[in-house]
Structure 1
Amino acid sequence: MFGYVEIDKPELKIREYELFRGYYCSLCKSLGRRYGQISRFTLTYDLTFLYVLLDALNSLPAGGKMQSCIAHPIKKRFVVNSNIFAEYTSDMNIILMYYNLMDKWEDERKLLGKTGTLVLRRAFNKAQRLYPKKAKNISDQLKTLSRIEKQGCDSTDEAAESFALIMSEIFNCDHIEGEVEKKALSWLGYNLGRWIYILDAYDDIEKDNEKSNYNPLLEQYKYDGKDIKEFKESIKDKVNFSLTYSLSEVEKAYSLLEIEKNKGIMDNILYSGLILKTDSVLQGKREMNEKRSV
């Protein structure tokens, strides 16, 4: 369900792209320092976006230096200096990915899920100790989501609610002091989570139908077993309306935030990247929606 939040690279200025990549590398290194090298493979653009967003509320310049790493041992890259937001995002990444892998094992008996939870268990225990309330809230919502899916819920809005609340919890960062900012971040995360869940459901219609997996769109719009491509096309406008509404709420929440820096990157993702991804999925241009290297 991760990997949908992306930059629109051609529209970014070169220095903005280098800075975004610097945040990605900074978060990757933070994961390695805090949770070991294997944890770095769990990083996605979605959590990089959160790091860039949280640090955009910080007035201090995004300093950094050229560094090499395991992925790029020869050519050094600019890496943003780590801070409390890098650490927080690393912690949330571990909690989220651990539960995501556990869900894959419990619901689909995927060996990757079982192996992943064993590998990340120690890291998860550490992150859980740091944020016990958040970890519990995320766990509770994932259990609710699992129950709803097993019941074959025929309301996409109801099915999307739990993941929306999970993202709301993650975006509501404890290290942001202003109440207005915290509420705006929470609402932004909620609607981004709703957008991700519904977009992922549309993206997976054919796969879920083939494997007889639960999909809220198949249930809500009463798929009758006929041509799946025709069905997908028939509901596209309705799904697009729901996705567009979620993105409009994301933009409203974003407008309430006092952005101190990274505005070019943030605007690129929110006003271009997410829209392009929506159009791409609705047009059936399926991609590998998992971790991508920058």
Structure 2
Amino acid sequence: MFGYVTPYKMELKIKDYEKIKGYYCGLCKVLKDNYGNIIRISLNYDVVFMAIFLDAFNKDEPQYTKNNCILHPIKKRIFVINNDALNYAASINIALTYYKILDDIKDENSLRGKFLSPILKRYLKKIPAEYQNIENMIADKLNELYAAESKGNSSNLDELSHPFGELTALLLTSYVGKKDNYEKIYNLGYNLGRWIYIIDAFDDLEKDIKENKFNAINSVMNGEKIEDRINFVLTSYGRECAETLDTLPLYKNQDILYNIFTFGLLEKMDRVFLKKKNDKEEKNEKSI
């Protein structure tokens, strides 16, 4: 999975950091209770973010409990419980993981994927009836994405990132429904999805080239000097998300979401760009 949508810890208040951990542990608990232990290994911050974001439209304060878990048997952890947004996010986690594994099998003939896919397919049947549309949404948009990538003749990143942007937008708006803020939430999700798709492609660029895999940036830019262009594109998408967030009527989690969109996305970009710079310098040193 991706895991690029994370908070910037240095700017978080302790109460907000503990709250994020409560959502994270709460999602892990929902996965365990509703689906089983195996799927818990796929939990990632992008799905946790969705739960935090969607729960911000609920006027009720989160309910908490303290308990131990298998990873922390001594010190009790805080869990958010009885939360509809977490239940919805768990269904997203199941479906995304299943289709990611199918993609690994297609691209890499993954033995791990072949082992896990029948197990996860059984989990899909456990998704509550009210969330069954999630699987179809994910399958349809990922098929659109793979079709766009397979053409190999796209001239811009907007076209290639469009299906994943739409998928992210639909996953968010499907939960909140067509209310007054539907278009704003769709716009935030759409730009965030494109941001995730492009930073993931940039992060994996050298690896994909080496392994002869499709990479959107390599396909469109074809070896050009790309850092400045990618920085501009990612910054534009991130700014659009932050500006849209400011217009939404959130009942809670405002500070966490502000942190993610104002600092977290930029920190993740800095880390990926610094990694690229260090890799390039190391490669140059070896060639001397």
Give the TM-score, by structure 1 length. 0.88
Q: Could you tell me whether the CA contact under 8 Å between 1:26 and 1:80 is conserved in 2?
A: yes
Equivalent in the alignment of 2:230: 239
Residue 258 of structure 2 is aligned to residue 267 of structure 1 = yes
**Cα distance in 1, alignment partners of residues 88 and 182 from structure 2:** 15
Residue 265 (structure 1) shift: 1.1
Relative to structure 2, which stretch is displaced further, 87-96 or 154-163? 154-163
AA of the residue aligned to 2:142: L
**Match of residue 240, structure 2, among 249, 257, 275:** 249
Aligned alpha-carbon RMSD (Å): 1.8
Deviations 1:143-191 (A, max 9, x none): 12112222224332211111111111111133x2561333322221111
Q: Could you tell me whether the CA contact under 8 Å between 2:26 and 2:81 is conserved in 1?
A: yes
Secondary structure at 1:65 match in 2: strand
Equivalent in the alignment of 1:171: 172
**Cα distance in 2, alignment partners of residues 243 and 251 from structure 1:** 12
Equivalent in the alignment of 2:87: 87
Equivalent in the alignment of 2:123: 123
Deviations 1:218-254 (A, max 9, x none): 121122xxxxxxx5xx211111111111112211321
Equivalent in the alignment of 1:57: 57
**Cα distance in 2, alignment partners of residues 59 and 129 from structure 1:** 24
AA of the residue aligned to 1:250: C
Secondary structure at 2:66 match in 1: strand
Secondary structure at 1:3 match in 2: coil
Equivalent in the alignment of 1:222: 222
Q: Could you tell me whether the CA contact under 8 Å between 1:134 and 1:169 is conserved in 2?
A: no
**Cα distance in 2, alignment partners of residues 15 and 150 from structure 1:** 46
Secondary structure at 2:163 match in 1: helix
Among all aligned residue pairs of Structure 1 and Structure 2, give the percentage whose two residues are the same amino acid. 38
> In structure 2, do the counterparts of structure 1 residues 285 and 68 end up closer, same or farther at CA, with 3 Å as the change threshold?
farther
Alignment of 1:194-233 (within 5 A): 194-223=194-223, 231=224
Secondary structure at 1:67 match in 2: strand
Deviations 1:167-218 (A, max 9, x none): 11111133x2561333322221111110010001111111011011111211
**Cα distance in 1, alignment partners of residues 269 and 216 from structure 2:** 18
**Cα distance in 2, alignment partners of residues 260 and 251 from structure 1:** 17
AA of the residue aligned to 2:237: S
Report runs of 4+ in structure 1 exceeding 4 Å deviation.
none
Secondary structure at 1:23 match in 2: helix
Runs of 5+ in structure 2 lacking a partner?
278-288
Equivalent in the alignment of 1:159: 160
Give the TM-score, by structure 2 length. 0.90
**Cα distance in 2, alignment partners of residues 138 and 217 from structure 1:** 23
Residue 35 of structure 2 is aligned to residue 35 of structure 1 = yes
Residue 71 (structure 1) shift: 1.4
Residue 285 of structure 2 is aligned to residue 284 of structure 1 = no
Deviations 1:79-122 (A, max 9, x none): 12231111111111111111111111122212222223122111
Residue 9 (structure 1) shift: 1.0
Runs of 5+ in structure 1 lacking a partner?
224-230, 287-294
Relative to structure 2, which stretch is displaced further, 143-152 or 194-203? 143-152
**Cα distance in 2, alignment partners of residues 153 and 32 from structure 1:** 43
AA of the residue aligned to 2:157: T
Equivalent in the alignment of 1:290: none
**Cα distance in 2, alignment partners of residues 278 and 246 from structure 1:** 12
